[in-house]
Amino acid sequence: EEKTRLSYQQKFELAQHSVSKKLLETALAKESNLIASADVTTTQELLELADKVGPHIIALKTHIDIISDFDYQNTIIPLKEIASRHKFLLMEDRKFADIGNTQELQFTSGVFRITDWADFVTSQVIGGFESLDCFKNVGVVAIIGMSSKGTLTSNNYREEALKVALSHPNVIGGVSQNPIPEDILLFTPGVNLADSGDGKGQQYNTPEHVFKTLHTDFIIVGRGIYKSENPETAAATYKNAGWNAYLNSL
């Protein structure tokens, strides 16, 4: 007997955090559950990709520390403009993993000043409940389980990580390859329509699979989009595949 899931509309009505509301509202308005991962290494590539895929995504996920020519004025200011024009959120995949005080410094200082532009960030919960207190003005997506072969996120680890995530008011969701309680949003990377792996430990599933078996909320697609010959049509393809898979899972 297959269990049904809550719809985005139902989750929107239940959501407590402003960033969860914004994400769900955007998903409903754009009929998309797609987050594009912009794992490119120059400002020009980042901005071009953001502009091309912008109409199809609800958020752009960055690893801002891989941008070789990062410059707040030339990288972040135009990125924010593109995000507001196409109405998507900015998700910085920083995966914080330290004590609260250090995470606070990494979040607010340095050249990236993540606190000034990211709508939400990823964080490990390995530092415990209080390590997440510093992310007051953004949503936190907690890393519960990883997609790579041999990951140490065992059943027991995930169970303990979930306890932290579910109890912390800054947490809006979790990244996982397993189902999680519907109280928080589920983000699933390791999604690709063409490949089953990358030869470096990454493991891929299809949108259909992750909606059906995990009842995920949002799919995260990197190389399937930015490495494709035409990132704009690839984004449209993943958007439609994700939305249809969601509808089929209701």
Q: Known catalytic residues?
A: 95
Only segment of 9-17, 50-58, 132-140, 216-224 that touches ligand 5BU (CB under 6 A) = 216-224
Number of residues lying near ligand 5BU (CB under 6 A): 17
188 near ligand 5BU (CB under 6 A) = no
Instruction: Count the helix, strand and coil residues of the chain and give each as a percent rounded to the nearest 5.
Output: 45, 15, 40
209 near ligand 5BU (CB under 6 A) = no
Contact 109, 82 (CB under 8 A): no
Q: How far apart are CA 72 and CA 113, in angstroms?
A: 8
Q: Phi, psi at residue 186, to the nearest 5°? A: -105, 125
186 near ligand 5BU (CB under 6 A) = no
Query: Residues 33 to 72: which contact ligand 5BU by CB under 6 A?
Result: 37, 39, 63
Among 125, 143, 161, 180, binds ligand 5BU (CB under 6 A): 143
In the numeric block, which tokens belong to residue 172?
């809006």
Among 93, 104, 119, 217, binds ligand 5BU (CB under 6 A): 93
Q: How far apart are CA 118 and CA 89, in angstroms?
A: 8
Alpha-carbon Rg for the chain in angstroms: 17
Running DSSP on this structure, what letter comes out for residue 216?
Answer: -
The secondary structure of 24-92, three-state, reads HHHHHHHCCCEEEEECCCCHHHHHHHHHHHHHHCCEEEECHHHCCCCCHHHHHHHHHHHHHHHCCEEEE
CB of 151 to ligand 5BU, least distance (A): 7
139 near ligand 5BU (CB under 6 A) = no
Q: How far apart are CA 53 and CA 228, in angstroms?
A: 12
Among 15, 82, 146, 234, binds ligand 5BU (CB under 6 A): 146
Query: Residues 95 to 114: which contact ligand 5BU by CB under 6 A?
Result: none
Q: How far apart are CA 108 and CA 187, in angstroms?
A: 24
CB of 128 to ligand 5BU, least distance (A): 18
123 near ligand 5BU (CB under 6 A) = no
Among 190, 207, 231, 242, binds ligand 5BU (CB under 6 A): 190
207 near ligand 5BU (CB under 6 A) = no
CB of 179 to ligand 5BU, least distance (A): 15
223 near ligand 5BU (CB under 6 A) = yes
Positions that interact with ligand 5BU (CB under 6 A): 37, 39, 63, 93, 143, 146-147, 175, 189-190, 192, 202, 220-224
